[in-house]
Amino acid sequence: MFDVKRMNAFDSARRGGWSGRVLTRRVPRDAFRRVKLPWVPNLVQMSPADDAGGSGVAVPDSGTTVYDLADNCDFEHVEPGEYYLGTVNGVVKYGVFVDLSDDVSGLVHSSNLGGSYDVGDELVVELDEVREDGDVAFAEVALDEYDVERVEPASNDVGALGDFVGEQVTLVGSVVQIKQTNGPTVFQVRDATGIAPCAAFEEAGVRAYPEVELDDVVRIEGHAETRDDAVQVEVDNLTVLAGEQAADVREEQSAVLDEVAAPHDIDPLVEWPALEKLWDDLEAVAQRLRRTVLEGRPIRMRHHADGDGICASVPLQVALERFVAETYEDPEAPQHLLKRLPSKAPYYEMEDVTRDLNFALEDRTRHGQKLPLLLMLDNGSTEEDTPAYRNLAHYDIPIVVVDHHHPDPGAVEGLVDEHVNPYLHDEDYRITTGMLCVELARMIDPDLTDDVRHVPAVAGLSDRSEADAMADYLALAGEEGYDESELRDVGEALDYATFWLRYDDGGQLVTDALNVDCDDETRHHELVDFLAERAERDVQRQLDVAMDHVEHERLDNGAHLYRIDVENHAHRFTYPAPGKTTGEIHDRKVAETGDPVITIGYGPDFAVLRSDGVRLDIPEMVEELKDEIEGGGVSGGGHLVVGSIKFVSGMRVSVIEALVAKMADAEIDEELGSSAPLVED
């Protein structure tokens, strides 16, 4: 029996001989690929180092490195001539079997063994031989002093998991969702290349790894499998990384994510200096939205329930859906992470925000999702939005606004994270939100371009934009086969569909009507014809009745005033609603008279106002009426010449009388029209 000291890291550490350095060696990513031990006869036949008195045990110089393989290392990590920590897992007559990792084991023949060992003992070995049958033999190495270096396999990229189905994989990344199913706990784990579901099973419906929280950096060892045609990792082991290790991962991945989130560099659909002023702002939003997707945060879109709002939100939704699908292995991710909803009011109402918040908190509880980012489109710039924003501020819900309504920057500043608005660049409503968001959608996914060339023209016509660029946008839509009347029909069809959809997003119906991500062009045209025809018929029906009840008077300033009781002299709860009915009557009277015209459509407790050629200031008038009509309960607003006002029904006569008196005092200004609803001084 040879008296060879049994050396292992623990013993030498105890004797002070171990440097105590535990390093992590990076192995090339390719090295991870798990391979069956190659059949290479006698390829690796090592000659032992200096012989220790014929024992067969090599005694190298001191100060050498011994590698400690992580459990999920494989034979790729074993190199001839290097030293490894092995653990005895079996003792036989002719030697001992050692494990270097879960997958790397071999025999140390007694001729290569210095001492006697029991199961569980550690010893340092080197590769001795790989036999023809694939069996591996090791030889013990006697070391006085050595450094232990930990070897972890390089982690896999989520984006390349599909190449490793059926194989062992390691992921390092952040947890972006923790969902408890009736079976396993599913952790959605993000690295710099994508997001993958990782299923860990404790017991049916029981939370696995309860210590893991959202945003933790984790290391997952498991197997890549396919489930419903998508890649999923079956977790064997999950470790939460802490301290510096986690910080390093975060930093490294964050830098890559910034690059991946960068918006695509696109050329605008038309050359338009006014739009160019907003380009940097749009790119910042594109970056923000892509980053939001990469971080696993849901996005909730709220848009004005009109043609421009649809033209803004639908292309963005499609672009984001495609980017989510690219980022996530889970094919259902787009429907879980993106929600688009119309807002009936031209601002973010308490009713809407309460629903959104409730929904977000429920998703967090039931599906372990992060709280969403709120994306406001074609509204959201004004003081009226701020109570809802303040409610969201109680939670981690960032707000991004893309709008072209006249903003109150002072009011929303500090509440919104990004705010794109032409008024912030000395431009105005003529750059519609649909025009802005088509470019934004293309920055997120440029492949969408062919689908959306006609959309800015629809948006511009729906919102009566008088932009110079409208000619270019109409020409662009012309190239796609749309003439102006068809584009107007698309806008009318959207308006009509949105009216009946009420609080629903309309899904495929709306994408078919707009012809974005629509797989059947014929259906699109037939649908638009049908909806636009119905819309026109309904408007005509409404006006046939209402026009007989329009009251006319001439105001002191010479303007025509038309009044219509939309509650009693128009069909209720049908298309068009009071606002549009009033607008249609107004447009007809403007065309008929060619003079300055004001139109009031009133119900029991509200009035809708439109004016052309008269310098009204509706928000100012509302403020005055609030003070002047005691007990009137007056509220409302809008823009200079388009707006609405609410009051208590018992005070209607007083409120409208006072309102008309103010209108009669207003200056005539032929330039000011409601076809340009948001023009200000």
How would you class 358 by CB atoms within 10 Å of its CB: exposed for 0-12, middle for 13-18, buried for 19 or more?
exposed
Tell me whether residue 287 or residue 675 sits nearer to Mn ion (CB atom).
675
- Please list the alpha-helical segments (H only) found in 380-432: 386-392, 409-412
Where does this chain touch Mn ion (CB under 5 A) — which range of 203-211, 308-316, 470-478, 505-513?
A: 308-316
Torsion 358-361-364-370 (CA) sign: positive
Instruction: State in angstroms the smallest separation of the CB of 389 from Mn ion.
Output: 20
Of the candidates 128, 308, 512, 584, which one interacts with Mn ion according to CB under 5 A?
A: 308
378 counts as binding Mn ion under rule CB under 5 A: yes
**356 or 378, CB closer to Mn ion?**
378
In this complex, which beta carbon is closest to Mn ion, that of residue 86 or of residue 460?
460
Per-residue mark of binding to Mn ion, 228-257 (x: CB under 5 A):
------------------------------
Residue 251 CB-density burial (10 A; 0-12 exposed, 13-18 middle, 19+ buried):
exposed
Nearest distance in Å: CB 432, Mn ion: 5
- Identify residue 19 by its one-letter amino acid code: S
Backbone dihedral region for residue 28 (phi beyond 0: left; psi -120 to 50: alpha; all else: beta): beta
Sign of CA dihedral 218, 221, 226, 228: negative
- Computed on alpha carbons and rounded to an integer, the radius of gyration of the chain in Å comes to 35
Segment contacting Mn ion by CB under 5 A, of 147-155, 162-170, 373-381, 482-490: 373-381
> What values do phi and psi take at 129, rounded to 5?
-165, 140
CB of 174 or CB of 421, closer to Mn ion: 421
How far is CA 667 from its chain centroid? 48
Q: Which is nearer to Mn ion, 222 or 422 (CB)?
A: 422
| Distance in Å, CB of 433 to Mn ion, minimum | 5
| DSSP string over 354-382 | HHHHHHHHHHHHHH-PPPPEEEEES---S
Query: Does residue 463 touch Mn ion according to CB under 5 A?
Result: yes
Alpha-carbon distance of 154 to 161, in angstroms, equals 13
Choice between 190 and 404, CB closer to Mn ion: 404
- C-beta of residue 576 within 8 angstroms of C-beta of residue 542: yes
Strand partners, 330: none
Nearer to Mn ion, 177 or 381 (CB): 381
Closest to Mn ion by CB, 55 vs 343, is 343
Kindly state the smallest distance separating residue 450's Cβ from Mn ion, in Å: 24
495 contacts Mn ion (rule: CB under 5 A): no
Q: Please report how close the Cβ of residue 306 comes to Mn ion at its closest, in angstroms.
A: 7
Rounded to a whole number of angstroms, the minimum distance from the CB of residue 410 to Mn ion is 22
The residue among 370 and 580 lying less far from Mn ion, judged by its C-beta, is 580
In the bound complex, which residue of the shown chain has the CB atom lying closest to Mn ion? 308
Residues 422-441, interacting with Mn ion (CB under 5 A): 433
Question: What is the per-residue binding string for Mn ion in 163-182, x denoting contact by CB under 5 A?
Answer: --------------------
Element (H, E) at 339: strand 338-343
Size of the site for Mn ion (CB under 5 A): 4
Q: Please state the closest distance from residue 527 (CB atom) to Mn ion, in A.
A: 23
Nearer to Mn ion, 307 or 368 (CB): 307
Comparison of 157 and 308: residue with beta carbon closer to Mn ion: 308
One character per residue 384-423, x = contact with Mn ion (rule: CB under 5 A)? ----------------------------------------
Helices (H) and strands (E) in the chain, counts: 19, 26
Minimum separation from the CB atom of position 463 to Mn ion (A): 4
**Part in contact with Mn ion (CB under 5 A); list of ranges 213-221, 355-363, 457-465, 608-616:** 457-465
161 SS3 class: helix
Residue type for position 577: A
Binding window for Mn ion (CB under 5 A); candidates: 322-330, 374-382, 472-480, 623-631: 374-382
Residue-by-residue DSSP string for 81-144: T-EEEEEEEEEETTEEEEESSSS-EEEEEGGG--S---TT-EEEEEEEEE-TTS-EEEEEB--S
Residues within the interface to Mn ion (CB under 5 A): 308, 378, 433, 463
